[in-house]
Structure formats: C-alpha cells, structure tokens
C-alpha cells in the first residue's frame, strides 16, 4: 500500500513526479561533476605538493654543509650515498641523486645504478637554475627536481636530483578518495531526500495534476477572466489583492501590477475599499467609484474548506445613469425652448424683446448676456449694410442683478472695430467663440480700457451670436462667463 502511494506521487505524469525526476538527475549529475572535479583537484594538489617537496629537498641537499668537499673527495659516492639515503627516507621521496656536471650518478637508492648517466634535463641546472620535470626514470615515471651545487666561487660543481614516482603521487591522492566519495554520497542522499520532500509538497499544492491538465485549467481560467464583462477581484485573508481581471482594473482605475498589495494601499474610494477589505457578504450594493456607479457582490471563499479571503464581482451601472442623464439634458432643453417661446416676444417692442432674450439666457446659457441692435433697427427701420453700422446696447443682464457690471450700459451707441469677434460674426453670419479673453487681442482692440475692466471683473470667455431675421443680420447677442 505504501509502495503504491509512493509510486503514485512520483508518477512522471504529474508535475511533482517530473520535478522529482528532473531534480534527481540534476543532483546525480552535480554529484558526478563534483566528484570528478574534487578528484582532479586532489591529484593536482598532490602533484603540486610533490613538486614543491622535491624542489625543497633538492635545494636543501645541494646547499647542505660539506657537500662540495664530498664531491672533491677521493670517493664521493662513499661520502654522499649515506647522506642522500638519509635525506630520501626522512623526506619521504623515492630518490635523492647526486650527479656530476657530466651527468654521472654518484648516489642512487639502487646501488647498481650508480656510475650511470642521470635521466633528466641537466642543461638549465648546469647554468645555475633549478628545474622540475616529469619524465620516465629508472624507478618508473616520476616528478623530479634538479638543483645545482655551487662552490665558493658560485660555480656549478655538481647537481642534486630529488623526486617521487607518479605511482606514489597517485597513491597519495587515492588515499583521500574514500573520504571524498563518502562525503559526496552523503550529499547525494540528503539532496535526494530533500528533493523527495519538495516534490511531495508540490504534489499537494498542484493536487496531483499533470502539466496538460494544469495548462488546460489555466487557459480556461484566463479566458473566463478576460472575457467576462464584470470585474473580478480576489482578496486574500491578509487583506492583499490576489487577482484582478482587466475589467476590474478598468472600473477601479487600479495601478499597474496591483497583485500582492494591500487593498488599503490601492487608492480606492473609501467605501469600496471597506467592502473589499471587510470580507462581509454584499449583494448588488451600488457604490460610487470615481465617475462610475458600481454594483458590487462580495462572498467569502473559506466556507467549504477553501483558502481564507473573499471574491468580489463588479458591474458597471454607469450606462443606466448616462441614459437617465441624457434624458435630463433633453428635458432641460425642452424646458428652455418652452420658456423661450413663452417669455420672449410677448410684445412687438424690439427693446423689450431684447431684454426678454437676455433674461432667458442668463444662468441657463451664460453668466452675462448683452444684446446689441443695429441703430436703424432700434429706430424701427430696416437694417443698413453691415460694414460700419452703429450698434445700440439694448439689454444687459447677469447673474448678479443690482450689483453692477463691467459692460457698456443700455443705450450706449458704438461701432465694432473690424478685428473684434462681433465684427467677424456679423459679416459672416456665424457664431464666434473666444475661449480666453486674456489672449483675445482682436476683442481687446474694441476698447482696451473697458475690456480690461471686463477681464478684471472675472469674465473669461465670450460667445457672440448674430440675430437674423428675413435673411439678414439685424441684431447682435453677446454672452460671456
């Protein structure tokens, strides 16, 4: 039973099984690589240690007291052989050989090799340089050092060769292999155990799904989140945002990558943040978020053993408000037309009609309205040609009745300069708009002193509309605010 469960959670179809196999292979490869590297390093270190010991023994023996005198004695071998063997045994090397400048051995661990030519490069040592080399010798392949022996005049009078066989160097390295292999094996066992534990935990977290099933689940999950017209948010038990789909980000104006941040740190409307962070159940509660009306539903996720937190859905109900807003605008326009039809033109008096027009337009269309009539029309005659005609101010009305105003008073007669917006509109028969009177130089040219008072009074924009009757312009209405 236990074996069946073990094979089940190590199944290579599941993500946990694949991760376990992959990690096990990686651990084995790393273990093999580490073992190889350590073996090579141990061999390299052993070779370096043998080389250094050979150099030290060769130079120490070459500079030892009495070595020069022994070389010049009647029987150098008798004097040097015991000393060389004692140095070899004490240093742990395989040979310490004294050589004449002609390359003839004076000492050797095997006495029958004395008197024969030394195997090695003696050129550099004869020139006063110590060298190391690896080459076959009488005892087998060896790592050896050759050092010169100097007399009192710093002349080379002999050589000392000291070294250790490659077989012995390998033996030094091989003695460390059991400890090395044991350490690597222990590391592999621990790594394999840790990998098994991680894979088991991963299997629990992925619920034993294989990659295809997880991919299919993610694709369906992602498609649903991005296709629904409702915003979806998931908030964890710690008050942090776990997920927000595109529609939720749009409706709440969430910052980029909001996941993982506290709901209170997302700059949401206080009442919206309170609903999301509280975790209480909410059904179709309408809240204001910026310029939108959102219907919010919120449900807890841990009722049936799920993770702690809540899921909220958002539905934009702004369109309904927009429809009602357009209905309100249409209703206001109809009321304005009705009021205009009732309040304007109650008499045949032109001046009275101009005053009624200004009163209807104020506060519904502009803050201040002035009506100027062509002088002939004010007298009851037909209007003359447009260019240069004099105008009479027939009406001035504003949002501050009785408090004065900065415009020409009623009854003032004047003419529009050609650069003014009134002159442009009057000649073209079309309305003219000035968004910023502080930059409207053509309008200011009409009367610099008077226009400065208008700007100082707080009037910032201007709309001039020609009044037409029987196909010609006979009056001018100016509204500002």
- pLDDT one-digit tens code per residue, 73-123: 888 888 888 888 888 888 778 888 888 888 888 888 888 888 888 888 888
Same fold for the domain at 223-316 and the one at 347-480?
A: yes
User: Please, what is the Cα angle at 111 between 108 and 116, to 5 degrees?
Assistant: 70
Q: Where are the domains of the chain?
A: 6-214, 223-316, 347-480
Write down the pLDDT at residue 7. 47
Look at residue 182 in the predicted model and tell me its pLDDT: 73
- Report d(CA 390, CA 132) in Å as an integer: 120
Do 15 and 209 contact (CB within 8 A), yes or no?
yes
Confirm if 45 and 53 have CB atoms less than 8 A apart. no
Q: What is the pLDDT of residue 301?
A: 79
Q: What is the pLDDT of residue 2?
A: 46
How far separated are the first and last CA of the chain, in Å rounded? 88
pLDDT tier at 10, thresholds 50, 70, 90: very low
What stretches of 233-281 show up as alpha helix (H) in DSSP?
246-252, 270-278
Element (DSSP H or E) covering residue 453 = helix 448-457
Instruction: Residue count of the chain, please give it.
Output: 481
User: What's the mean pLDDT when you consider all of the chain?
Assistant: 77
H or E stretch including 339?
helix 318-343
Q: How far apart are CA 385 and CA 473, in angstroms?
A: 9
pLDDT over 70 (residue 72): yes
Between CA 438 and CA 451 the distance in angstroms is: 9
Question: pLDDT: is 154 or 384 the higher one?
Answer: 154
Range 65-73 average pLDDT: 84
pLDDT of amino acid 280: 82
Topology (CATH) of 6-214: Beta-Lactamase (3.30.450)
Q: What kind of fold does domain 347-480 have according to CATH?
A: Beta-Lactamase (3.30.450)
The CATH-assigned architecture of domain 223-316 is 2-Layer Sandwich (3.30)
């Amino acid at each position: 039973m236990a074996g069946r469960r073990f094979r089940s959670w190590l199944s290579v179809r599941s993500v946990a099984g694949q991760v376990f196999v992959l990690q096990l292979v990686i651990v084995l490869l790393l273990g093999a690589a580490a073992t190889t590297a350590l073996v090579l390093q141990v061999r390299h270190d052993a070779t370096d240690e043998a080389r250094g010991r050979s150099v030290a023994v060769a130079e120490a023996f070459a500079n030892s007291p009495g070595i020069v005198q022994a070389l010049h004695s009647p029987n150098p071998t008798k004097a040097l052989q015991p000393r060389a063997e004692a140095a070899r045994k004490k240093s742990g090397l395989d040979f310490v050989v004294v050589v004449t400048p002609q390359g003839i051995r004076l000492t050797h661990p095997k006495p029958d090799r004395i008197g024969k030519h030394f195997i090695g490069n003696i050129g550099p040592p004869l020139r006063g340089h110590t060298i190391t080399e690896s080459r076959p010798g009488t005892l087998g392949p060896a790592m050896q050092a050759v050092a010169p022996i100097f007399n009192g005049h710093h002349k080379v009078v002999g050589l000392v060769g000291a070294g250790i066989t490659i077989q012995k160097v390998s033996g030094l390295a091989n003695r460390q292999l059991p400890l090395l292999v044991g350490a690597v094996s222990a590391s592999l066992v621990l790594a394999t155990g840790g990998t098994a534990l991680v894979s088991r935990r991963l299997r629990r977290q992925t619920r034993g799904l294989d990659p295809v099933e997880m991919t299919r689940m993610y694709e369906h999950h992602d498609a649903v989140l991005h296709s629904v017209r409702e915003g979806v948010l998931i908030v964890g038990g710690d008050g942090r945002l776990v997920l927000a789909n595109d529609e939720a980000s749009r409706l709440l104006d969430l910052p980029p990558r909001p996941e993982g941040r506290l709901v209170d740190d997302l700059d949401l409307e206080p009442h919206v943040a309170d609903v999301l962070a509280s975790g209480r159940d909410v059904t179709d509660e309408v809240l204001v978020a910026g310029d939108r009306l959102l219907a919010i539903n919120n449900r807890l996720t841990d009722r049936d053993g799920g993770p702690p937190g809540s899921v909220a859905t958002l539905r934009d109900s702004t369109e309904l408000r927009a429809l009602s807003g357009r209905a309100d605008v249409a209703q206001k326009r109809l009321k304005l037309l009705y009021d205009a039809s009732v309040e304007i033109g109650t008499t045949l008096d032109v001046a009275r009609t101009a005053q009624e027009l200004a009163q209807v337009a104020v506060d519904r269309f502009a803050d201040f309205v002035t009506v100027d009539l062509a002088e002939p029309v004010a007298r009851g005659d037909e209007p003359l040609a447009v260019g240069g005609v004099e105008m009479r101010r027939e009406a001035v009305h504003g949002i501050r009745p009785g408090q004065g105003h900065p415009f020409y008073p009623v009854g003032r007669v004047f003419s529009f300069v050609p650069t003014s917006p009134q002159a442009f509109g009057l000649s073209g028969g079309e309305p003219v708009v000035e968004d910023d009177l502080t930059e409207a130089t053509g309008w200011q040219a009409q009367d610099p002193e008077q226009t400065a008072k208008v700007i100082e009074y707080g009037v910032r924009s201007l709309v001039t509309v020609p009044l037409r009757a029987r196909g010609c312009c006979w009056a001018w209405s100016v509204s500002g605010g």
